Chain A
Amino acid sequence: MSTVALEQEGHKDHHVPTGIQRWLFSTNHKDIGTMYLIFSLVMLFLGGGMAMMIRAELFMPGLQILNPDLYNNLVTNHALIMVFGLVMPAAAGMANWMIPLQIGAPDMALPRLNNLSFWLLPAGALMLIMSMLAPYFGTGGPVNTGWTLYPPLSIQAGMSMDLAIFTLHILGISSILASINIITTILNMRAPGMTLMKMPIFVWAWLLTAFLLVLVMPVLAGGVTMLLFDRHFGTSFFDAAGGGDPVLFQHLFWFFGHPEVYVLLLPSIGVLGMIVPTFSRKPLFGYKPLVIFMIILTLLGLVVWAHHQYTIGMSLAVTTYFMIGTILISIPVGLMLFNFIFTMWRGSLTFETPMLFAIAIIVMFSFAGVTGVMLAVVPADMQYHDTYFVVAHFHYALIPGALFGLYAGVFYWLPKWTGHRYDERLGKIFFWWTTIGFNLTFFPQHFSGLAGMPRRIIDYSIQFTDFNMISSIGAFVFGLSHLLFLYIIIKTIRGGEPAGDMPWDGARVGTAGLEWTLSSPPPFHSFETPPEVK
């Protein structure tokens, strides 16, 4: 595209770029949001496929389809893809789509940066795929460390580890740039009259998420860079023999890794804060306390990282501090769930797909919360640590808490994005199918964990067979449901009942955003003139 042509186009009333240029050079928040969402959908199937392979291998004792190194590699990449490829880009896609619409802005504050932060993602994904393939070209073993990349094991891996480190660098840069953009947009581009305390809760959740990302991503980048130096440049940051400390990496990793959990959760909490009032036809209960407690959650989340490392042998005083801090997190989380429950109280509820997801999330995420408190108690954690109990806990936290929240958001805003209503009957089938499959997969894992099955093992003794079989069957039920999800989305994009500007009759109650004042789908420049908020 020549500059002259661009300028000429810029003076026309309708200057919508078309063809490949519309996507490749896009500076439009909605197009970039769509690309984020499509990217995360692709990653959902990639990471989910890996999970299916893991569960197929674990269906019964003995080695059937994988070898131990490939298994460990799949465990690692399943986590990296789900965290960095699925949940974060999907949430960022929603942020791109919805934040300008909800606060009455024409676009993101820094549109070209927005383009860059998206296109770094496929580059990172490519690098990750290269890291999976590298071992087959004779460059040493695969990344077999789990997503935590703990040294000294991560020193042993071959070139694939270097590629994984660069993957994290690229994805980290992408997140930081996107977060800077989101913070700038929210703080500078709100419609006149929209004070911070009038912002939709989704925008609040993303503001805090973006701050968290800017604070902790560089720590991960530093940690993995030190790892790279230990591997190739003769340093000994993490090598006890050279005066380093293997535990240092764990602290660096979890200083990033724990707040990362809130990075994954908060956007979905924000989505729930939109959906629950809508389908209860009643304003959000306790908006101000919720905002304040989300800020407290963000701050607390930054200072409790070492509860992932209770078994490394910290001093009594330090472990006690981390135990108390971690248990205290139940207060803001409990309040959030309480606020959602009392938003529904004395409401007028209907049960469309987003609301079904919201109610299921409230219950299942509470369950993750209570097992989280169990894990926070240090001596008990010294039994639970690195068992399937932990696997069950964090899948209960992250699948309902993050992923289902995003599904709910997709169903909630799909009519706005496409201008068509999705098939409500199929949506409900998808909800029941996926929820039952999910619980069937992960509930039994609590028991196999307590009975003594460590996580990340490819093969197990015969006593754990029953629960693993149930879990694997559940996993296939859960995994296959996503084909229906894909079908519903494609069907909605291709056509369907027109959605109208406001597809949900309860959408204007409480602190709902400005997105419903626009047409569905919204015009190319969302708000040409800023709307007034009273």
Chain B
Amino acid sequence: MPNLALWRWRLSTAGIGGVALNASAELKMNLPEPVSPLTAEIFDLHMLTTTVATIIMVVVIALVAIIIFRFRRSKGAVADQSFNDSRFGTWGWMLVPIVVLAIDLSIAGPGAKTLKNVETFEEADLTLKIIGSQWKWTYDYLDQEISFVSNLNNEDLSSPGYLREVDNPVVLPTHKRIRFLHTSSDVLHNWWVPSVAPKKDAIPGYINETWAIIEKEGTYYGQCAELCGTRHAYMPIVVKAVSEQEFTQWVDKQKQQKAQQLAEASAEKEWSKAELMARGESIYNRACAACHQPTGTGIPGVFPALQGSPIATGDPAPHLDIVINGKPGTAMSAWGSQLNDLEIAAVITYERNSWGNDSGDLVQPADVKAAR
């Protein structure tokens, strides 16, 4: 049922909002178009509650309007002191709890049904483990043995993709049941792509689960929805839903790349300074520059400077240690599990020889291996 969700969305949007919502189709005012059965069901639930809410508001506003126009003293209204003793006055207060309870049940029923569906975890075709960290997403395709990091790569205010685009989007097949596992390596995050799946927090020490079957090819956007510190606004998510065939091709390509990188990193090769610096710069800008700044100056009082710091200019051992193991209790995360030996060696070499840091040290993959 490829376009069912779209059809349903159009129908309900037109039905409830009437003129206002239709006239401003460009101005997004409602939840984005759902592309998975679960988000479509939630969308319907949302429209149901919105409808009920609208009706209640119309009734309340109508009552208040009648009161304002009928019972004002300036029009000669006299207070009916016996109203509270009338039959309505004695029993009227029973009316509302009963009516409200009926409305509540009409919402809670479908709500409970959908909730059960949200929490139904059947056998999935594909499992994607998502690790949130400050301030990027790591994706592990557990069945395909692929893993990569995804970072914001559009900070150009004049571009329509400002703060939306990433360097490595998640690629997922359509019409497959996908299990998302959410966890975090440092603080709380939340991987939220509203069209695809409902959100659940990524909590260190926990694994949370959501699922989706994407029914329409396309690119879906989202971002981190749990306050995670300085760069909370800069953790976008891009999901590319492709056909099963394209997905297989993509997986093969990823595997080849990975094998190539591994071979490079584990080759017992001495790398030249120029090679390490070039690789280091791109890794630094991808992984470190968000906090320590592209100029290595950091943000005073928040993120330490690398330029001229004793760690980056003195003995390499503590430098290796802090990059591999992180610094507990701060935003500096452990990169040992996210970067390979060559990448760590390159980025450390870059940090030790840039922005006026002229230690001249070359750190080789072998040193990293030893330090791990």
Contacts and interface: CB of A to CB of B under 8 A. Distances in A.
B114 interface: yes
Contacts of B67: 341, 344-345, 347, 349
Contact of A382 (B68, B71, B77, B200): B200
Contacts of A385: 190, 199, 225
Given A311-B199, A345-B67, A240 B101 contact: no
A146 B96 CA distance: 37
Contact of A313 (B92, B201, B231): B201
Given A156-B330, A370-B53, A379 B31 contact: no
Interface string A271-311: 00000000011110110010000000000000000000001
A360 to B, nearest CB: 9
Contact of B227 (A150, A246, A342, A451): A150
B79 A280 contact: yes
Contact of A339 (B93, B101, B204, B233): B93
Interface stretch (A175-183, A429-437, A459-467): A459-467
A370 B229 contact: no
Contacts of A69: 230, 299, 302
Contacts of A62: 157
A67 B299 contact: yes
A240 B57 CA distance: 45
A373 B108 CA distance: 10
B234 interface: yes
Contacts of B19: none
Interface string A360-386: 001100110011011001111011011
Interface of B is mostly: mixed
B64 A359 contact: yes
A283 B81 contact: yes
Interface string A219-249: 0000000000000000000001100011100
Interface string B32-55: 100000010110011001101100
A311 B190 contact: yes
A312 B203 contact: yes
Contacts of B186: 152
B226 A286 contact: no
A386 B225 contact: yes
A324 B221 CA distance: 32
Nearest to A330: B100
Contacts of B112: 320, 323-324
A510 to B, nearest CB: 9
Given A320-B112, A344-B67, A451-B28, A334 B100 contact: yes
**Category for how many chain A residues contact B:** 35 or more
B203 to A, nearest CB: 6
Interface in B189-241: 190, 192, 194, 198-201, 203-206, 208-209, 221-234, 236
B118 to A, nearest CB: 5
A318 to B, nearest CB: 11
A373 B107 contact: yes
Given A246-B188, A363-B64, A378-B111, A311 B200 contact: yes
A374 B53 contact: yes
A462 B156 CA distance: 11
Contacts of A328: 104
A500 interface: no
Given A283-B81, A330-B100, A335-B93, A380 B111 contact: yes
A487 interface: no
B156 to A, nearest CB: 10
A246 B111 contact: no
B63 interface: yes
Contacts of B200: 311-313, 382
A341 B198 contact: no
Contact of A341 (B49, B64, B160, B329): B64
A153 B227 contact: yes
B6 interface: no
A502 interface: no
B7 interface: no
Given A72-B229, A337-B60, A363-B61, A346 B71 contact: yes
B97 interface: yes
Among A72, A359, A509: residue with most chain B CB under 10 A: A72
B187 interface: yes
Given A339-B93, A341-B63, A461-B162, A377 B45 contact: yes
A156 B96 contact: no
B87 interface: no
B233 A350 contact: no
B263 interface: no
Contact of A316 (B111, B119, B225, B330): B119
A467 B26 CA distance: 13
A319 interface: yes
A240 B201 contact: no
| 3 closest A-B pairs by CB | A240-B205, A382-B198, A370-B53
Interface of A: 61-62, 67-69, 72, 135-136, 138, 140-141, 144-146, 150, 152-153, 155-156, 240-241, 245-247, 280-283, 285-286, 289, 311-313, 315-316, 319-320, 323-324, 327-328, 330-331, 334-335, 337-339, 341-342, 344-351, 359, 362-363, 366-367, 370-371, 373-374, 377-380, 382-383, 385-387, 447, 450-452, 454, 456-463, 466-467, 509
Interface of B: 27-32, 39, 41-42, 45-46, 49-50, 52-53, 56-57, 60-61, 63-64, 67-68, 71-74, 77-81, 83-84, 89, 92-93, 95-97, 100-101, 103-104, 107-108, 111-112, 114-119, 157, 160-164, 186-188, 190, 192, 194, 198-201, 203-206, 208-209, 221-234, 236, 299, 301-302, 329-331
13 contacts: A144-B230, A156-B329, A281-B73, A313-B206, A316-B116, A320-B112, A334-B97, A338-B93, A339-B93, A346-B77, A348-B79, A371-B53, A379-B42
Given A447-B30, A457-B223, A509-B79, 8 more contacts: A140-B301, A246-B206, A282-B79, A285-B83, A311-B199, A331-B97, A346-B71, A373-B52
